[in-house]
């Protein structure tokens, strides 16, 4: 029996852990939903229960910075560290409040509604292209990487021709965003990737200045930067790179997870063929069933108590989103993929003040995908029941998913 005084180790390179992460999370949650671990050389509290994770996320007393203006040593001091320091998920109030207020109009219901037509065009065109393919294709490379990239480029007014290549480097940033250990080689790659995107987005910003109005997501940020007080150039560029990250990586993973779940549960897939109106609920269940981001972090505020254990102020907290989303205390039959699940208040987008800004766009993309996928590819079949996965602690993902669009 594990208790909070013992240290448990999460080793994503362990084949047993990688083969079934959710079994490992279940064992941890059953033994001690509040345990101890070590992340990037620092002691941490590991939370795997829904109630504990939600409590931490919803309390503004818990912060993403250990102290105001302080950032983790493991991110270094290069371009990747600069990206980290100014990214919305990594800053607290008052900077977070200011930046979020400036960025949030891009994803308000009115803005997302205006995006629907062109998002639907991109999503369905990709499905139609798959429908014309014979044999076996890798869904990750042939669809899940392409479609979010096209949408991200359209959102940021980047050349659509760049979508095929410019976002392939994005995973290089994961090393500084992950809660897993980081090697010098990974940090060097993250620095090079961050500098590439600073230059790329900076050039786009310079070409767009004065050409967009405040109703455009990028235009609103350009106007805020132009007055010289509300937004600095660095904040502008980092926020737009963050749009790229949010629009690309998380949605790519979620799309892949959805197709894997549905092709592994043919009854659910057939149900969607007969009832496309269930697509939105199916997307929410997909996000609960396999959260695109497995872990986030916080630092404990004063007076925090979890599972009857007092947590010292300033202690690092490792929050298991994927584990919490499978907690039987919150979800009935948590390991079953059930698109008709009632009251599906999952934590895939986190909760509280740092709730994912791009969630409305993700939901739009997912709803369209799962409405049109069964209709346009009714014979879609999974060709590998155990596809390869990455070993990153935070960004667990299927790296290749072989499917037959026309069946086998």
Query: Distance between the two ends of the chain, CA-based, in angstroms?
Result: 47
Dist CA 119 CA 365 (whole Å): 7
- Residue 353's CB is within 10 A of a number of other CB atoms, namely 17
Q: Can you tell me the mean pLDDT for 235-247?
A: 84
Q: Give pLDDT, residue 3.
A: 53
List of domains in the chain: 15-404 (1.10.630.10)
Categorize the per-residue pLDDT at 405 as very low, low, confident or very high, splitting at 50, 70 and 90.
very high
Q: Which CA distances in Å does 110 have to 66, 104, 317, 360, 361?
A: 36, 11, 36, 10, 11
Q: Can you tell me the mean pLDDT for 38-50?
A: 91
Q: Give pLDDT, residue 166.
A: 81
**246 pLDDT more than 80:** no
**2 pLDDT more than 70:** no
Q: Give pLDDT, residue 350.
A: 95
Among 96-105, 110-119, 149-158, 159-168, the minimum mean pLDDT is found in 159-168
Axis crossing angle, helix 251-264 with helix 266-274, rounded to the nearest 10:
100
Q: Give pLDDT, residue 5.
A: 55
Q: What percent of the chain lies above the pLDDT cut of 90? A: 60
**362 pLDDT more than 60:** yes
Model pLDDT for residues 94-106, shown as the tens digit of each residue:
999 999 998 888 8
Dihedral angle of Cα 14, 16, 18, 24, to the nearest 10 degrees? -110
Write a three-state SS string for 23-77.
HHHHHHHHHCCEEEEEECCEEEEEECCHHHHHHHHHCCCCECCCCCCCCCHHHCC
**Residue indicated by tokens 């795997």:** 48
**227 pLDDT more than 80:** no
Model pLDDT for residues 303-347, shown as the tens digit of each residue:
999 999 999 999 999 999 999 999 999 999 999 999 989 889 999
Structure tokens at 391: 């070993």
Q: Give pLDDT, residue 1.
A: 41
Q: Can you tell me the mean pLDDT for 364-385?
A: 95
Q: Give pLDDT, residue 187.
A: 93
* Residues 178/394, Cβ–Cβ less than 8 Å: yes
Model pLDDT for residues 250-298, shown as the tens digit of each residue:
899 999 999 999 999 888 898 888 888 899 999 999 999 999 999 999 9
Axis crossing angle, helix 359-376 with helix 146-155, rounded to the nearest 10:
140
- Angle among Cα 227, 198, 359 to the nearest 5 degrees reads 80
**Residue indicated by tokens 């108590």:** 305
Burial (CB count within 10 angstroms: exposed 0-12, middle 13-18, buried 19+), residue 154:
middle
* Residues 326/212, Cβ–Cβ less than 8 Å: no
Q: Give pLDDT, residue 4.
A: 56
Backbone dihedral angles phi then psi of residue 360, each to the nearest 5 degrees: -60, -35
**230 pLDDT more than 60:** yes
Q: Which CA distances in Å does 157 have to 122, 154, 296?
A: 15, 5, 30
Q: Can you tell me the mean pLDDT for 106-128?
A: 92
Q: Give pLDDT, residue 11.
A: 82
Axis crossing angle, helix 217-226 with helix 95-103, rounded to the nearest 10:
130
The average confidence (pLDDT) of the chain is 90
pTM of the model: 0.91
Closest by CA to 62, choosing from 246, 312, 235, is 312
**23 pLDDT more than 90:** yes
């Amino acid at each position: 029996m594990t208790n909070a005084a013992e240290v448990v180790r999460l080793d994503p390179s362990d084949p047993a852990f990688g083969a079934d992460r959710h079994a490992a999370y279940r064992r941890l949650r059953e033994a001690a939903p509040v345990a101890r671990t070590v992340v990037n050389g620092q002691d941490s509290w590991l939370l795997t229960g829904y109630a504990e994770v939600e409590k931490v996320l919803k309390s503004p007393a818990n912060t993403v910075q250990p102290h105001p203006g302080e950032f983790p040593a493991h991110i270094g001091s290069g371009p990747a560290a600069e990206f980290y320091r100014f990214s919305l998920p990594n800053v607290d109030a008052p900077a977070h409040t200011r930046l979020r207020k400036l960025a949030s109009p891009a994803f308000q219901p009115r803005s997302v509604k205006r995006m629907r037509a062109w998002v639907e065009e991109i999503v369905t065109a990709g499905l139609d292209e798959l429908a014309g393919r014979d044999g076996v294709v890798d869904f990750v490379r042939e669809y899940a990487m392409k479609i979010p990239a096209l949408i991200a480029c359209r959102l940021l007014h980047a050349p659509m021709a760049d979508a095929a290549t410019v976002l392939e480097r994005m995973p290089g940033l994961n090393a500084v965003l992950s809660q897993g250990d980081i090697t010098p080689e990974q940090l060097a790659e993250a620095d090079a990737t961050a500098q590439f995107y600073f230059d790329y987005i900076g050039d786009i910003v310079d070409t767009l200045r004065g050409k967009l109005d405040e109703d455009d997501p990028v235009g609103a940020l350009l106007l805020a930067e132009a007055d010289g007080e509300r937004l600095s150039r660095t904040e502008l560029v980092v926020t737009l790179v963050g749009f790229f990250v949010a629009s690309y990586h998380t949605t790519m993973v979620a799309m892949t997870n959805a197709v894997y779940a549905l092709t592994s549960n043919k009854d659910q897939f057939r149900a969607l063929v007969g009832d496309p109106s269930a697509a939105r609920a199916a997307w929410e269940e997909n996000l609960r069933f396999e959260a695109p981001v497995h872990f986030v972090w916080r630092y404990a505020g004063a007076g925090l108590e979890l599972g009857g254990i007092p947590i010292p102020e300033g202690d690092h907290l490792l929050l298991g989103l994927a584990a919490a989303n499978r907690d039987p205390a919150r979800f009935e039959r948590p390991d079953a993929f059930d698109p008709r699940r009632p009251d599906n208040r999952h934590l895939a987008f986190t909760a509280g003040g740092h709730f994912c800004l791009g969630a409305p766009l993700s939901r739009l993309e997912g709803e369209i995908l799962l409405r049109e996928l069964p209709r346009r590819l009714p014979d879609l079949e999974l060709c590998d029941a155990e596809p390869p996965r990455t070993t990153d602690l935070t960004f667990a993902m299927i790296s290749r998913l072989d499917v037959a669009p026309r069946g086998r």
